[in-house]
Structure 1
Amino acid sequence: MKRRNLLRALAIGAPLATAGAVGAGIAAADTANFKIMVTEQVQNKVMVFDKNAAFSDANRYKSWSPGTGGWSNLSDCRIRDTAQFGAIGLAAASGGKVGIWNITDEKDQELNDVLWSATPGGNPHALERIPNIGAFVSASSDGFLTVYGPTKISDPSTLAKVQTVSLAGAHGVIWDPNNSLLWAAGDKIVQAYTVSGTYRNVRLAKSSKKVALSGLGHDLQADFSNSSLLQVSDSYGVYSINKSTLAKTTLHTTTRIKAYVKMKTGEYFYMRADNTGSRTWGSPTIVFSQSADRTRSGAEFYKARYYTTAYN
């Protein structure tokens, strides 16, 4: 291990454990030079940058600015593919809103690009799309998941709340296309849910698959290097979960990791809350294991994502 990577591993608390193109700039395959999207809470924007360039305004690839109010303190972002609109952006905000926007050719997008939004209640921390049936599921940290079903899959304006499912500390949700399960991270647990029904009859039901965590779950993401695994962070570290065997492997033992992504190349990047300022849960820096870290002066990043529509 090179000295720089050794120092990086020590900084995060422990070394690594041994154990579709739908628009310009959106990745269908993993490459060494990729784009990432971040939620930045001071300007309250989702921003997309090339990871090999400074995270400056001049270098932004795209941005989306929904304004404040219910959209304040953006807490999640990701992109998914649809037949009707191509790539759409998904967002959740601690101010109370969740929603999706149409990713157009515009460099800087705003609230008028929103296709649908809702106010699930609590403190929304994540939003995920279930493909083929066009349903969406949000996670609110006050303790529940909210399911939204459409009357017309191609028309998100027809989405309405159809179910609320209790999950203490709900923070993360991700669709698992290999097993047709929705996984959610909450307080000391990662829980899988089966999905039944279509349109307004779509429903979640607890699966027997669950994995205990030591603390409050934060980020829950695919492992882009291995489709059989999930990556989850909690208050005390980062773990890999085998979706079939439910085996949990500790990758890092550093606290306050709010976003963590592992790429096919083996590179990983993360955001660790710096515990300072008015947003103690954020940081102006995204750390990369094999590339230069990126710091944006005055920023408060919360989530960081690989800029791809792929689920894994």
Structure 2
Amino acid sequence: MRRLWKASLVPVLAALAVAAPLPAASAAPEHGRPSGSIVLTEQASKRILVLPADQDAWTAREFSWSWAPGDDNGLGDLADAWTNPDEAKLSERDGRRYLLTTASGGFAAVVPYPQGTGAYWAADVDGANNPHSIELLPDGNVAVAASTGGWLRVYTASQGSRSTHYAEYPLEGGHGAVWDERRGVLWALGTHDLVALRVGGTPAEPELTAERVVPLPSTGGHDLQPVPGRPHQLWVTTESEVLLFDKARGTFSRNYPGAGAISREHVKSVTTHPRTGQVLTVAPQEDHLCTWCGDTVRLDRPHDELTLRGAWIYKARWWHD
């Protein structure tokens, strides 16, 4: 993702209305319509947005939740690093839920959801590094992947909410980080490789060791996500395609249900709905003012689209609230 953008051309979005959380998704999309909620990294308004998977809600801008760092949530001192939010994931630890988020200006944080205040951990990891993904580890530390910096770091968040001590593994084009509870490894995605990292040492002094390095079948690794209900699989996107990775076999597949529609160039994010199996992807649109963004997310199995007019969507994910 390029960090240069035309600020004078940013469309002005409508005021963000914060409402109560939505009910859980139904077991299957009703009459082919999507169900549940979706989170967006929306770069025009520089906010994380959660909204129902319903076009009427998108048209009316009926946001369930919105967030950005500021004085009101105790992160005003890091607001300058909040340039081009590029990751949003929901995680749980010790019975609490957290928004995991990064921005290419250097911002990285783990924020209680839905409270939005009292960050578990937050830091400016330097915009020159261009952080692109984040993961909360079982020991309380936080993994961050950075593309321009070319690394995967584990920050010692367990030692304090502003700890900047870290262990680093060099990873060209670092873009993805996913913890694998079953195997006890941290998967990290870069330009050319998918790496399984063993996190050793102690929470205060972590150590990273590559246990497995798997070359990608195409270059430009971008998004890395687990597949709900299939602990042996990971979604992997590259500059040219969307792949399924089999952890046990160490192989990538282009032949999976819906691949003809799901797999395409420059997909920035991919997730599967944990109850319906519907797959959500987002990719840049031609002639959009932001050349790495779009205003539409795509759903497949079954197919649908949702559009937020004027938005600069970089990533979109199912939000398992």
TM-score for the superposition, normalised by structure 2: 0.79
Q: Which amino acid aligns with 2:204?
A: R
Q: Is the 8 A contact 2:87 2:133 kept in 1?
A: yes
User: Are 1:141 and 2:147 an aligned pair?
Assistant: yes
User: Are 1:307 and 2:310 an aligned pair?
Assistant: no
Q: Is the 8 A contact 1:47 1:63 kept in 2?
A: yes
- d(CA) in 2 for partners of 1:139, 1:163: 12
**Among candidates 292, 303, 313, match of residue 281 of structure 1:** 292
**Superposition deviation, residue 48 in structure 1:** 0.8
- d(CA) in 2 for partners of 1:30, 1:137: 32
**Among candidates 65, 68, 75, match of residue 65 of structure 1:** 68
- d(CA) in 2 for partners of 1:25, 1:181: 33
**Superposition deviation, residue 58 in structure 1:** 4.4
Q: Is the 8 A contact 2:140 2:158 kept in 1?
A: no
Q: Unaligned regions of 5+ residues in structure 1, if any?
A: 1-22
Equivalence map 1:23-62=2 (5 Å): 25=22, 32=29, 33-53=35-55, 54-56=57-59, 58-62=61-65
Change (3 A) 1:305 1:99: same
**Superposition deviation, residue 226 in structure 1:** 1.6
Q: Is the 8 A contact 2:141 2:154 kept in 1?
A: yes
Q: Is the 8 A contact 1:180 1:194 kept in 2?
A: yes
Equivalence map 1:1-312=2 (5 Å): 25=22, 32=29, 33-53=35-55, 54-56=57-59, 58-66=61-69, 69-83=80-94, 86-104=96-114, 109=116, 113-121=118-126, 122-131=129-138, 133-142=139-148, 143-152=150-159, 156-157=160-161, 159-250=163-254, 251=259, 252-264=262-274, 265-289=276-300, 290=302, 292-308=304-320
Aligned to 1:7: none
Change (3 A) 1:179 1:28: farther
Change (3 A) 1:95 1:292: same
Give the CA RMSD over aligned residues: 2.4
Aligned to 1:6: none
- d(CA) in 1 for partners of 2:235, 2:191: 16
Q: Matched residues, percent identical? A: 26
Q: Is the 8 A contact 1:120 1:140 kept in 2?
A: no
- d(CA) in 2 for partners of 1:30, 1:94: 36
Write out per-residue CA displacement over residues 74-95 of structure 1, whole angstroms, 9 at most, x where no aligned residue. 00011111227x1111111011
- d(CA) in 2 for partners of 1:29, 1:92: 30
Which range moved further: 142-151 or 53-62?
A: 53-62
- d(CA) in 1 for partners of 2:172, 2:83: 23
| Secondary structure of the structure 1 residue equivalent to 2:243 | strand
Q: Is the 8 A contact 1:225 1:262 kept in 2?
A: no
- d(CA) in 2 for partners of 1:176, 1:211: 19
Q: Which amino acid aligns with 2:176?
A: G
Between structures 1 and 2, the one with greater strand share: 1
| Secondary structure of the structure 2 residue equivalent to 1:230 | strand
| Secondary structure of the structure 2 residue equivalent to 1:193 | strand
Q: Is the 8 A contact 2:59 2:309 kept in 1?
A: no
Which range moved further: 217-226 or 300-309?
A: 300-309
